[in-house]
Amino acid sequence: MSMPAPRTGRARERVLTMRGIGKHFGAVKALSGVDFWVDEGEVVALVGDNGAGKSTLVKVLSGVHAPDAGTIEFDGEAVEIHTPADAQELGIATVFQDLALCDNLDVVANLWLGRELVAEGMLDEVGMEERTWTLLRELSAKVPSVRIPVASLSGGQRQTVAIARSLIGDPRVIILDEPTAALGVAQTAELLNLIERLRERGHGVVLISHNMADVMAVADRVVVLRLGRNNGEYNVADITSETLIAAITGATDITMRQMVQDAARKHPAPLPETVADDTPAGIIRLADGRPKDGRGRRAPRGRDES
């Protein structure tokens, strides 16, 4: 696989390399021979249709699923990721779509849950709160208070808290599964800003997204999966979202035909002039003499017209 030049022009360290990853669930081959890598300080979008294998690939990285084939290197060393704890120890943090926040706990408690700071045998509440504010400021995050239950925050703020929590262990790679799926326009813009902050901090960011506008706005590189295999890898600066959609669906010609059909459906041509004759009811005859059925479709002329 060729390696596209980074957008920033700065040489970047390869953090993570997956090669030839395979995974099946019974008879379903979820992944076959998938290659994927992440550099520090880049945003890689992972895109593909439903069932393409995105979540499975991410779950292999986060220690949820063991792959049946392939290798993983982290900082140039071969590694095996058997459990989520292994992934965390290596420095791979995943923010799953459900966020897994404790709604009744405040922002500080959510960030430090299970990794609480202790000073003189007591919880270091002041230290945790200070570090929480520092982190949120670094992310330019707009959270009104860190001492309110996360249940009272907006969707975008909750997403921010989940991302901030993933940063507590100072991971090298952060995986975000569909982070904008439930967000409105303004919150999405804020989240995309936050992803840029993560890149500036030098994290490698893996962004799973269905939203091509988000991908085009924030990613440096896009990896397309289709039916469990690699189906293209692009520098975002070099492509349009149409190219991406073609790679996701797997066929440029079919995509183009679909777009033409959609346009025709949205902007129907005026009714063609009809010619009075003895055509049976339900059939109108077009000016060119070919009959048209009751649903407005032109009767086929020959086998090659479709």
Say if residues 107 and 142 touch (Cβ distance below 8 Å).
Answer: no
Residue 47 beta carbon to ligand ADP: minimum distance, rounded to whole angstroms:
9
Which positions lie near ligand ADP, rule CB under 6 A? 25, 28, 30, 48, 50-56
The residue number whose beta carbon is nearest to Mg ion equals 55
Helix ranges, the chain (H)? 54-61, 84-90, 107-112, 125-138, 155-166, 185-200, 212-218, 241-249, 252-266
User: Which of 36, 53, 55, 206 touches Mg ion (CB under 5 A)?
Assistant: 55
Total residues contacting Mg ion by CB under 5 A comes to: 1
Q: Does 231 bind Mg ion (CB under 5 A)?
A: no
User: Which of these segments, 13-21, 51-59, 226-234, 296-304, binds Mg ion (CB under 5 A)?
Assistant: 51-59
CA 52, CA 231: separation in Å to the nearest integer? 10
Of 2 and 50, nearer to ligand ADP (C-beta) is 50
Q: Which two tokens stand for residue 32?
A: 């076959």
Check residue 269 and report its DSSP letter.
P
Q: Does 56 bind Mg ion (CB under 5 A)?
A: no
What count of residues does the chain have?
306
Side-chain-side CA neighbours of 123 within 13 Å: the count stands at: 10
Of 41 and 53, nearer to Mg ion (C-beta) is 53
Residue 92 beta carbon to ligand ADP: minimum distance, rounded to whole angstroms:
17
Residue 22 beta carbon to ligand ADP: minimum distance, rounded to whole angstroms:
12
Residue 13 beta carbon to Mg ion: minimum distance, rounded to whole angstroms:
28
Of 25 and 120, nearer to ligand ADP (C-beta) is 25
Residue 40 beta carbon to ligand ADP: minimum distance, rounded to whole angstroms:
25
User: Which of these segments, 31-39, 49-57, 113-121, 192-200, binds Mg ion (CB under 5 A)?
Assistant: 49-57
Contact partner, 203, from Mg ion, ligand ADP, none, Cβ < 5-8 Å per class: none
Say if residues 42 and 204 touch (Cβ distance below 8 Å).
Answer: yes
164-183 footprint of Mg ion as x/- string (CB under 5 A): --------------------
Q: Which two tokens stand for residue 238?
A: 């070099």
Handedness of CA 150, 155, 157, 162 (dihedral sign): positive
Side-chain-side CA neighbours of 273 within 13 Å: the count stands at: 4
Residue 191 beta carbon to ligand ADP: minimum distance, rounded to whole angstroms:
20
Please give the single-letter amino acid code of residue 80.
E
CA 174, CA 38: separation in Å to the nearest integer? 10
User: Which of these segments, 47-55, 70-78, 146-154, 191-199, binds Mg ion (CB under 5 A)?
Assistant: 47-55
Of 100 and 148, nearer to Mg ion (C-beta) is 100
Contact partner, 53, from Mg ion, ligand ADP, none, Cβ < 5-8 Å per class: ligand ADP
Residue 55 beta carbon to Mg ion: minimum distance, rounded to whole angstroms:
3
Residue 34 beta carbon to ligand ADP: minimum distance, rounded to whole angstroms:
11
Say if residues 5 and 39 touch (Cβ distance below 8 Å).
Answer: no
CB neighbours (10 Å) of residue 278?
Answer: 5
Contact partner, 155, from ligand ADP, Mg ion, none, Cβ < 5-8 Å per class: none
CA 253, CA 139: separation in Å to the nearest integer? 42
Say if residues 225 and 48 touch (Cβ distance below 8 Å).
Answer: yes
Residue 77: exposed, middle, or buried by beta-carbon count in 10 A (0-12, 13-18, 19+)? Answer: exposed
Which positions lie near Mg ion, rule CB under 5 A? 55
